[in-house]
């Protein structure tokens, strides 16, 4: 079965056939680096990183571009507030983004273009749009002329009239059509800016992705991805710009959009003040737990974030790591069904279900040889999702280090309890167990002696 992808353009699941199987092109809209990423920002990073891995299994060369928006009014504002140049802000938060995403098991894309490094590309593209009468200059701005692009609205399934009717924002007087959007805008002396044929200014938001996509991947690309909230206007505008500038029928052949992370069913967003910062979450939870939660729902569905889902993911991973612990693992191929699930429009819940079934088979297996084989397959399969790659002993041990408890005292109490048990003073033994339980310490009597661990949160 070839790879299936749900295409926003057609609202259908389609077989993925790249333009050039020797060179598959994927572009995902990356972060605007003006503060720390929240878990909602992490979802597309995790999902499209997974897509990149899935594609890379099938095709010899996949070029994955994920941009960094490093000039933007919010960055400008933060920089102005701190009294520093914008690159101080953008570098700081780009570094934080890389660090946080790495903790979630997200790899680096093939290329990571930055807007400020593509100003000449952007200017050249705008010039071409003006030449082709797709854009016009007005009061120092350059605007895209949506009237010149008959397909405008085809991705988001809107027409220009609806856009006017639904407009919630006052239309700038210099716009010819209310739907026209800014390609280039003037900068004041204090604002960052670049010289251009239209004076000193800076690019609008949409144009950078079009310019960078063309520069690194080509005029027509295979897949363009991003969050659902980018469908309109961002991606709609990208299509208009790119197709007008390059005179093509197509910009991206497949469009993929991830659903939102919600909190109590409401979209996580900065304006609602319900964001959970990845950097903060990582202080409490292993990155892999966050990743598991993000993969537990299908990427196109909303994902309601909760403490409960974190506990559940932690419990599941603890069990899986526990099963791998102590088994010598050899590299092997992943399970076919896991691959099939992932290749079916990234069906991660089904893939995880299969992984859990493999884990049960492993638990059932009696012969050591078979167990080792199953364990290896389990690890390889989970690896396709970026899970279960840590050393099981380390994972399980790290659960204990999290608590700041006097280990010597615990060890002494355990010794005393074991002495009581030997003399069959079970009342005293149970008393010690209870005392430790109150401190959140669970005792486990096993063949290797008594182990302790921190109670589940």
One residue of 105, 203, 226, 386 binding RNA per CB under 7 A:
226
Q: Is 205 in the site for RNA (CB under 7 A)?
A: yes
The CB-of-180 to RNA minimum distance in angstroms stands at 11
User: In the complex with RNA, which residue's Cβ is closer, 201 or 227?
Assistant: 227
Which of the residues 11 through 30 are near RNA (CB under 7 A)? 11, 29
Q: What stretches of 187-226 show up as alpha helix (H) in DSSP? A: 205-216
Q: What is the rounded distance in angstroms from the CA atom of residue 126 to the CA atom of residue 129?
A: 5
Q: Is 210 in the site for RNA (CB under 7 A)?
A: no
In this structure, what token pair is assigned to residue 56? 């890379």
* Side-chain-side CA neighbours of residue 128 (13 Å): 16
* Side-chain-side CA neighbours of residue 188 (13 Å): 5
One residue of 1, 150, 165, 326 binding RNA per CB under 7 A:
165
Identify any residues that bridge with 141 across adjacent strands, giving them in sequence order: 138
CB distance 143 to 182 below 8 Å: yes
CA dihedral 335, 355, 396, 97 (to 10 degrees): 90
Which of the residues 54 through 93 are near RNA (CB under 7 A)? 74
One residue of 129, 214, 239, 359 binding RNA per CB under 7 A:
359
User: In the complex with RNA, which residue's Cβ is closer, 132 or 421?
Assistant: 421
Q: Is 429 in the site for RNA (CB under 7 A)?
A: yes
The CB-of-131 to RNA minimum distance in angstroms stands at 25
Q: Is 400 in the site for RNA (CB under 7 A)?
A: no
- Find out whether the peptide bond into 29 is cis, omega within 30 degrees of 0: no
User: Cβ neighbours of residue 197 under 8 Å, at least 6 residues apart?
Assistant: 123, 127
Q: Is 399 in the site for RNA (CB under 7 A)?
A: no
* Number of residues this chain uses to bind RNA (CB under 7 A): 80
Q: Is 154 in the site for RNA (CB under 7 A)?
A: no
In this structure, what token pair is assigned to residue 338? 């896991």
User: In the complex with RNA, which residue's Cβ is closer, 23 or 361?
Assistant: 361
In this structure, what token pair is assigned to residue 71? 């000039």
Which stretch in 89-97, 98-106, 184-192, 444-452 sits in contact with RNA by CB under 7 A?
Answer: 444-452
Q: Which helix (H) or strand (E) holds 77?
A: helix 73-82
CB distance 46 to 382 below 8 Å: no
User: In the complex with RNA, which residue's Cβ is closer, 69 or 196?
Assistant: 69
User: In the complex with RNA, which residue's Cβ is closer, 219 or 337?
Assistant: 337
Q: Is 303 in the site for RNA (CB under 7 A)?
A: yes
One residue of 4, 56, 332, 357 binding RNA per CB under 7 A:
357
Which stretch in 58-66, 324-332, 387-395, 429-437 sits in contact with RNA by CB under 7 A?
Answer: 429-437
The CB-of-255 to RNA minimum distance in angstroms stands at 12
Q: Is 365 in the site for RNA (CB under 7 A)?
A: no
Which of the residues 313 through 352 are near RNA (CB under 7 A)? 315-316, 318-319, 322-323, 347, 349-350, 352
User: In the complex with RNA, which residue's Cβ is closer, 187 or 258?
Assistant: 258
Q: What is the rounded distance in angstroms from the CA atom of residue 259 to the CA atom of residue 249?
A: 27
User: In the complex with RNA, which residue's Cβ is closer, 44 or 287?
Assistant: 44
Q: What stretches of 274-389 show up as alpha helix (H) in DSSP? A: 278-284, 287-295, 307-324, 336-343, 348-364, 368-383
Length of the chain: 457
Q: Is 157 in the site for RNA (CB under 7 A)?
A: yes
One residue of 148, 154, 191, 296 binding RNA per CB under 7 A:
296
Work out the number of other CB atoms within 10 angstroms of the CB of residue 326: 9
Q: What is the rounded distance in angstroms from the CA atom of residue 258 to the CA atom of residue 5?
A: 12
């Amino acid at each position: 079965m070839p790879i299936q992808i749900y295409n926003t353009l057609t609202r259908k699941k389609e077989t993925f056939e790249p333009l050039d199987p020797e060179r598959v092109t994927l572009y995902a809209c990356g972060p605007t680096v003006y503060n720390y990423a929240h878990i909602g920002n992490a979802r597309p990073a995790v999902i499209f990183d997974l897509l990149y891995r899935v594609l890379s299994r099938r095709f010899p060369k996949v070029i994955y571009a994920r941009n960094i928006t490093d000039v933007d009014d919010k960055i400008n504002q933060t920089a102005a507030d701190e009294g520093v140049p914008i690159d101080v802000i953008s570098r700081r938060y780009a570094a934080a983004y890389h660090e946080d995403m790495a903790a979630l098991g997200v790899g680096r894309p093939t290329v990571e273009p930055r807007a400020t490094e593509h100003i000449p590309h952007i200017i050249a593209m705008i010039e071409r749009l003006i030449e082709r009468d797709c854009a016009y200059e007005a009061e120092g701005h350059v605007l895209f002329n949506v009237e010149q692009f008959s397909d405008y609205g085809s991705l988001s399934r809107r027409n220009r009239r609806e856009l006017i009717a639904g407009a919630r924002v006052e239309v700038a007087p210099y716009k010819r059509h209310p739907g026209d959007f800014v390609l280039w805008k003037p900068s004041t002396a204090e604002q960052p800016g670049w010289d251009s044929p239209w004076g000193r200014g800076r690019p609008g938001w949409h144009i950078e992705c079009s310019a960078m996509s063309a520069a690194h991947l080509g005029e027509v690309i295979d897949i363009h991805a991003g969050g659902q909230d980018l469908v309109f206007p961002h991606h709609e505008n990208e299509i208009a710009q790119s197709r007008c500038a390059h005179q093509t029928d197509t910009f991206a052949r497949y469009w993929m959009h991830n659903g939102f992370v919600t909190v109590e069913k409401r979209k996580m967003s900065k304006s609602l003040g319900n964001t959970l910062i990845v950097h903060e979450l990582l202080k409490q939870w292993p990155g892999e737990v966050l990743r598991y939660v993000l993969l537990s729902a299908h990427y196109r569905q909303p994902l309601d974030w909760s403490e409960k889902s974190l506990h559940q993911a932690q419990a599941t991973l603890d069990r899986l790591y526990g099963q791998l612990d102590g088994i010598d693992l050899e590299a092997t191929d992943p399970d076919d069904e896991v691959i099939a699930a992932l290749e079916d429009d990234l069906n991660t819940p089904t893939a995880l279900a299969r992984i859990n079934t493999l884990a049960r088979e492993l638990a059932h297996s009696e012969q050591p040889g078979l167990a080792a084989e199953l364990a290896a397959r389990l690890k390889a399969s989970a690896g396709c999702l970026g899970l279960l790659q840590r050393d099981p002993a380390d994972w399980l041990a790290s659960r204990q280090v999290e608590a700041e408890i006097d280990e010597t005292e615990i060890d002494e109490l355990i010794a005393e309890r074991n002495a009581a048990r030997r003399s069959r003073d079970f009342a005293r033994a149970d008393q010690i167990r209870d005392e430790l339980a109150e401190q959140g310490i669970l005792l486990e009597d096993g063949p290797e002696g008594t182990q302790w661990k921190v109670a589940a949160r």
